[in-house]
Amino acid sequence: MADETRPTSGEGQSSGGGGGERRPQRSGPGGGREGGPGGRKYFRRKKVCKFCTEKIDSINYKDVRLLAQFVAESGKIVPRRLTGVCTPHQRRLSSAIKLARNIALLPFAGRAA
């Protein structure tokens, strides 16, 4: 008789936690977006290293305008996967940014909060 007093699935439960309608799962890169009625998939161009394409051999710590492109507004060094810079140039870039920070050419952080 105790089984009859228990609420069955969906009855008597609060609407807070895990109940309710489920959204369809999105899978694959791009979150399952097809890109419109044509059914074409979203295509992202492969990022290329700016230093390799422009044949810049050395990254100068005094070139603040160049280094500032690779520093976020918060003051963090932007990672490779976002900028497209190759590994050797990213290493040189990060050391040049750190050197420029130490001699006060670049800020360590963004605006004071």
Q: What is the pLDDT of residue 82?
A: 92
pLDDT per residue rounded down to tens, the chain (113 residues):
555 565 555 555 555 555 566 666 655 555 555 555 666 777 778 889 999 999 988 899 999 999 999 999 999 999 999 999 999 999 999 999 999 999 999 999 876 55
HEC per residue, 24-72? CCCCCHHHHCCCCCCCCCCCCCCCCCHHHHCCCCCCCCCCHHHHHHHEC
DSSP output for 69-91: GGB-TTSPBPPHHHH---HHHHH
Per-domain residue ranges of the chain: 50-102
**pTM (two decimals):** 0.60
- Residue 85 and residue 79: Cα distance in Å, rounded? 9
Beta bridge partners of 71: 77
- CATH architecture of residue range(s) 50-102: Irregular (4.10)
Measure the CA angle with vertex 75, ends 104 and 31; round to 5°: 160
Q: Sort 90 into a burial class: Cβ within 10 Å, 0-12 / 13-18 / 19+.
A: buried
